[in-house]
Amino acid sequence: MGAISATTEKDVDKFVETNIRLTLDLWGWCAANAVRLIYASSAATYGDGSAGFSDEQSPAALGVLRPLNAYGWSKHVVDRRVIDDVARGRATPPQWAGLKFFNVYGPNETHKGFMQSLVSKIFPVVKAGETVTLFKSHDPNYPDGGQQRDFIYVKDCVAVVRWLLRHPETSGLFNVGTGTARSFLDLVRAVCAAVGCTPNIRFIDTPDELRAQYQYFTCADITKLRRAGFDALFYSLEDGVRDCLSK
Q: Which residues are catalytic?
A: 71, 112
Check: CB of residue 220 under 8 Å from CB of residue 100. Answer: yes
Environment class of 39 (CB within 10 Å of its CB; exposed 0-12, middle 13-18, buried 19+): buried
Q: How many residues does the chain have?
A: 247
Of 102, 100, 109, nearest to 82 by C-alpha is 100
3-state SS, residue 222? coil
- Whose CA is closest to 180, among 53, 46, 64? 53
